[in-house]
């Protein structure tokens, strides 16, 4: 069966520090991969999605970036975090056909101090 792993679960970072969140998927090949951010009590904002290795699409301008160095690995990064980057970051995967359900990781709660 397919599983998705996301870490760390919780992260506290100072303003201006770098960020690296990692997500890996097991049990499937060529998945679509997604990074979402969820502000407290709010909906899901799509940040990046990827249909293949090194193929990243950005949905909103920001100081975050994403990379997909391997088929089942998706990384969210920042060189300098802002206070507004605080939130709940969720990685998700779906089968290659985009009209399929998305399966989410457990998320990372990021607090910027």
Partner 1 sequence: GQQVMQIPQYQHVQEGEDFTTYCNSSTTLSNIQWYKQRPGGHPVFLIQLVKSGEVKKQKRLTFQFGEAKKNSSLHITATQTTDVGTYFCAGGGYGQNFVFGPGTRLSVLP
Which residue ranges make up the site for partner 1 (CB under 8 A)? 34, 36, 41-44, 46, 49, 59, 90, 98-99, 101-107
- Of 80 and 106, CB closest to partner 1: 106
Q: Shortest distance, CB of residue 27 to partner 1, whole angstroms? A: 16
Question: What gap in Å lies between CA 27 and CA 81, rounded to an integer?
Answer: 33
Question: What gap in Å lies between CA 34 and CA 31, rounded to an integer?
Answer: 10
- Of 40 and 83, CB closest to partner 1: 40
3-state secondary structure of 54: coil
Q: Shortest distance, CB of residue 98 to partner 1, whole angstroms? A: 6
CB 81 within 8 A of CB 15: yes
């Amino acid at each position: 069966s397919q599983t998705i792993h996301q870490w760390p679960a919780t992260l506290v970072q100072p303003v201006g520090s770098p960020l690296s969140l990692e997500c890996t998927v097991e049990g499937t090949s060529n998945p679509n991969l997604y990074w979402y951010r969820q502000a407290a009590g709010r909906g899901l904002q799509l940040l990046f999605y990827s249909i293949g290795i090194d193929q990243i699409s950005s949905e909103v301008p920001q100081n975050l970036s994403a990379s997909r160095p391997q088929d089942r690995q998706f990384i969210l990064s920042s060189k300098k975090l802002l206070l507004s980057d605080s939130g709940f970051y969720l990685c998700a995967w779906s089968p290659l056909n985009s009209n399929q359900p998305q399966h989410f990781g457990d998320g990372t709660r990021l607090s910027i101090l």
